[in-house]
Chains A and B, each alone.
Chain A
Amino acid sequence: MSATIDGRPIEARAGATILDACRDAGLDVPTLCYLETLTPVNACRVCVVEVEGARVLAPACSRRIEPGMVVRTRSPRVDLSRKLVLELLGSSVDLSTAPTLEPLMREYGADPGRFGPAPATVRQSPKVDNDLYMRDYSKCVLCYKCVEACGTDAQHTFAIAAAGRGFDAHISTEFDVVLPESACVYCGNCIAVCPTGALMAKHEYDLREAGAWKPEVQTATDTTCPYCGVGCTLTVHVQDRRIVKVTSPLESEVTRGNLCVKGRFGFEYVNKTG
């Protein structure tokens, strides 16, 4: 079907979202809560665009293209909303391990400091309650990705969900129990989709705390998981000849970025070299 984006006529496939159409046309629309492998929740509102004739802005990640639609991905309205969303996040959440947001902040001229001297934040102590990963909800932007990965979009474990309401809304286990008491199976698929480092492998967290996390010297090598016959693709991140992290590529047809506890965390034996 035909539509117009930023003054350019485009052809979009049926069922395509505005974001799909933009990316097909080589146009950049920033996203935060969106991930190709998950159902769009359109919660962050970073990807809003202007649709001609619409009263309010539309989330590009989930709004489907309609025939004849006229879309503007950059306009004073769009830019203002994106700037405010970034400022609201920057003023309430610790974004120190969310590298993708910093260039956006610059691009949109976001100044999170302008809400007064002591705006409320979600600051709290990190939850370290098991050996495999930690949860630092000071860094949580509530993108729902981890909930989706834990739930129907990948793992079907349902160990975590959104709880509370309003500014107090947060991701939680039932009655905020520690992970070992919850339904968690430690697949780590929540960590894989977290965009801000709120969820992190304990191993990486400890190295960062010790000042020994050095992404600039890390190499990433794809291999196949040795544990079972499924044959998941692993990307092995190595620093100073030691495996420091295992991920799986989103593009992998087998895993779509997901792994199980063994594939993601069962590498310590390789590091034990004597």
Chain B
Amino acid sequence: MDLHITGGEPTEDERAAIDALLGVPESGWEGAARDIARDGRTAAGGHSVAGQRHRLLPALHAVQDRVGWVSRGAMNYICRRLSVPPAEAWGVLTFYHLLARAPRPTAVAHVCDDIACRLRGAEALCQELETRLGPPLAGGSPAATPDMNGAGVSGAVEAAPALRRAGAPAPAAMAWQRSPCLGQCDAGSAALITRAGAMPERFVLAPAADASAIVEALAGSTPAPPRPTVRWTGTPRLLSRVGKVDPASLDGYREQGGYRALARALELGPERVIAEVTASKLLGRGGAAFPTGRKWDAVRRQPATPHYVVCNADESEPGTFKDRVLMEQDPFAVVEAMTICGLATGAAQGFIYIRGEYPLAEARVGSAIAEAREAGLLGADVMGSGQAFDIEVRRGGGAYICGEETALFNSIEGRRGEPRSKPPFPAEVGVFGKPTVANNVETLVNVLAIVLEGGESWARLGTPASTGTRLFCLSGHVERPGLYEVPFGATLRDLIDLAGGVPGGRGVKAVLLGGAAGSFVGPGHLDLPLTFEDARAAGATLGSGVIMVYDETADIADSLHRIAEFFHHESCGQCVPCRVGTQRQLELLPTLAAPSASSAAAAASVFGELSVAMKDASICGLGQTASGAIESALNLGLIERPVKGGE
């Protein structure tokens, strides 16, 4: 591509970070300085370079990790290396909120102020941080656009050049910003700490006890990784190894039954593996509840090649942390399950797309992949079968929408995470335009037991229409927030009891089922069996397994405002109903509680129509579900008008 690139060269640090990922360029065609004697008689480029587009997001991450932000010079160099037009790279850079495009301190705390953490005092923590570190960076918000010179977006930013001149990260070289849910809802408070540099550090502080703990983490302390609360009833299938196996040890995994399922799958062969998965009636656990066996079968039958496996680990639904716990505590299970999926569906390459807020999961899955490859469990000859399968980890950039499978494909391909129109469905046209199985982490891990036990036997647990067990993420006002595995059919009350009930013996005001994209149910629904069919009949959804409990003292209006902010922040902006609709929803929300009955009713009528249009006319699930929680709160009477009205 004939690129037109102006305005800046990379610094040595930036160039080194990019070359460390992409290799040193061999000619001017690939981004090195032009040398007519060397480059003048050859042409390297075209598809071999343009085919590297999918490395755009990893390259931007590399610069972000090294320098703390992406300058125009760095972006230009990446564009040259990958043959990407700068305007398109800018479109990608400005899409992901973990990427900064203006100078900022090298150490940044991304502090969760989302719904679950708010119920446990996140706002107070943010106020405390504001006192200690000044106002939050606006850099994480897509609304913040730097001026052309890349000048700062907040007070903390302006300090950065001086600090860089000083050469060392002085204590003041730190800042913070608010973050959507970090998937640490069992901890009650959390901060993602990123420290850019030659040895970049990214880790999560959970719980983030107070502002001092965050400041210490920013200054250099690395806390011990958290140990999750996990419980179950009966025999766990998904959590059996969690907390018992060394996540770094392949031998440990094998001692606890690991890789028996892959061996069995190789005995069975692809058709029978798919038959067992189909017989199990396993439904996808990411939210859409699509039959997994049917998906695998559809991909296996596709004549177009190659096929791909994509594990959707972009778990970003507020209140959800189940996939994180599986990846952090039992990473080999995810790798083994993806391998089974790949061999069954005729794919030789898999991607696991892990959200950027999960550095520990990324590290552990990454090292599990490396160890499995070393042991011949991935690579050209998986377990001596003569079949090839390998997995590449991709890190998300901070975009909830990338959990939508087609947006995720675009993100892997180095494009903006904008969802595609379906049909065509991923089984036919997926990542790189090829047949693709896209499965959630929990869905895949279920396959291990299905292959070992046989689908029909596995399906005996649960209900006829919702087979197996389910992971539920309990958070909010329960004694023991954590991850709970129960057979389908347990009621909401069972789960809340399992989590120790509501603190102080207080009553339940409402429960948010399925996360921000789900809906509220009232105390009248506590005996609702948590199955796909019962939830649907009750007009609710299990979604990604979120059960967020609000006790009778909870401020629901505060949560609703945060949910409206969340969708406003996370809409990709592609289609009108969602782009403008999420903005209008945020504006309309306060008027729903207008003091006069007639103006509140008028607002509710506008909101009702808006909600229908967003559900009916948005491209993807984000816009289609963005108004659901607020609508359910309205229906339940959880949006209260002040008693003394104007009428």
What are 6 A-B contacts defined by CB distance under 8 Å? A45-B576, A92-B580, A142-B579, A165-B94, A173-B86, A181-B7
Contact B94–A119 (Cβ < 8 Å): no
Tell me the minimal C-beta distance from A191 to chain B in angstroms.
17
A239 to B87, CA, bound (A): 36
- When A85-B613, A166-B570, A167-B568 are in contact, do A181 and B6 touch as well, CB less than 8 Å? yes
Contact B575–A43 (Cβ < 8 Å): yes
Residue in contact with A42 in the complex, picked from B85, B421, B587, CB distance below 8 Å: B421
Contact A168–B617 (Cβ < 8 Å): no
Contact B88–A166 (Cβ < 8 Å): no
A143 to B143, CA, bound (A): 20
Contact B94–A163 (Cβ < 8 Å): yes
Contact B617–A48 (Cβ < 8 Å): yes
Q: Is B89 an interface position by the 8 A CB rule?
A: yes
A182 to B7, CA, bound (A): 10
Residue in contact with A80 in the complex, picked from B94, B588, B609, CB distance below 8 Å: B609
Q: Top 4 A-B pairs ranked by shortest CB distance?
A: A169-B573, A158-B85, A84-B613, A183-B4
Contact B613–A59 (Cβ < 8 Å): no
Contact A80–B4 (Cβ < 8 Å): no
- When A158-B88, A168-B142 are in contact, do A119 and B584 touch as well, CB less than 8 Å? yes
Tell me the minimal C-beta distance from A16 to chain B in angstroms.
15
Q: Which of A52-89 contact B (CB under 8 A)?
A: 56-57, 59, 62-64, 77, 80-81, 83-85, 88-89
A22 to B86, CA, bound (A): 39
- When A56-B615, A158-B85 are in contact, do A169 and B583 touch as well, CB less than 8 Å? no
A107 to B15, CA, bound (A): 57
- When A85-B577, A166-B570, A177-B7 are in contact, do A172 and B142 touch as well, CB less than 8 Å? no
Give the A-binding residues of B (Cβ under 8 A). 1, 3-4, 6-7, 72, 75, 85-91, 94-95, 97, 101, 142-143, 145, 148, 150, 399, 416, 418, 421, 423, 568-577, 579-584, 587-588, 591, 606, 609-610, 612-613, 615-619, 624
Q: Is A229 an interface position by the 8 A CB rule?
A: no
A156 to B571, CA, bound (A): 28
Contact B568–A116 (Cβ < 8 Å): no
A58 closest partner in B (C-beta): B421
On chain A, the residues within 8 Å of B616 by CB distance are: 48, 56-57, 77, 80-81
Interface centre among A81, A158, A166 (most CB of B within 10 A): A166
Contact A164–B142 (Cβ < 8 Å): yes
Tell me the minimal C-beta distance from B636 to chain A in angstroms.
24
B567 closest partner in A (C-beta): A166
Contact A167–B580 (Cβ < 8 Å): yes
A251 to B576, CA, bound (A): 29
Contact B571–A80 (Cβ < 8 Å): no
On chain B, the residues within 8 Å of A141 by CB distance are: 576
Contact A166–B571 (Cβ < 8 Å): yes
B401 closest partner in A (C-beta): A165
Contact B584–A162 (Cβ < 8 Å): no
Residue in contact with B572 in the complex, picked from A45, A157, A166, CB distance below 8 Å: A166
Tell me the minimal C-beta distance from B340 to chain A in angstroms.
31
Q: Is A159 an interface position by the 8 A CB rule?
A: yes
Q: Is A161 an interface position by the 8 A CB rule?
A: yes
Tell me the minimal C-beta distance from B601 to chain A in angstroms.
13
Contact A165–B584 (Cβ < 8 Å): no
- When A45-B618, A57-B616, A80-B613 are in contact, do A169 and B572 touch as well, CB less than 8 Å? yes
Contact A59–B88 (Cβ < 8 Å): no
Interface string of A81-102 (1 = CB under 8 A from B): 1011100110110000000000
Contact A162–B573 (Cβ < 8 Å): yes
Residue in contact with B3 in the complex, picked from A44, A57, A161, A183, CB distance below 8 Å: A183
Residue in contact with B6 in the complex, picked from A48, A85, A177, CB distance below 8 Å: A177
- When A116-B591, A159-B87, A175-B72 are in contact, do A165 and B573 touch as well, CB less than 8 Å? yes
Tell me the minimal C-beta distance from B88 to chain A in angstroms.
5
Q: Is A160 an interface position by the 8 A CB rule?
A: yes
Contact A45–B577 (Cβ < 8 Å): yes
Contact A165–B142 (Cβ < 8 Å): yes
A114 to B618, CA, bound (A): 21
Contact A182–B87 (Cβ < 8 Å): yes
Q: Is A174 an interface position by the 8 A CB rule?
A: yes
A226 to B145, CA, bound (A): 44
Residue in contact with B617 in the complex, picked from A57, A156, A159, CB distance below 8 Å: A57
A67 to B153, CA, bound (A): 54
Contact A165–B571 (Cβ < 8 Å): yes
Tell me the minimal C-beta distance from A38 to chain B in angstroms.
15
B101 closest partner in A (C-beta): A175
Q: Is A176 an interface position by the 8 A CB rule?
A: yes
Q: A43-B619, A115-B588 are known; give 10 further A-B pairs, CB within 8 A.
A: A81-B617, A83-B609, A142-B576, A158-B87, A161-B91, A163-B95, A166-B568, A166-B582, A169-B579, A176-B145
A51 to B624, CA, bound (A): 17
A183 to B5, CA, bound (A): 7
A41 to B97, CA, bound (A): 24
A141 to B577, CA, bound (A): 12
On chain A, the residues within 8 Å of B145 by CB distance are: 164, 168, 176
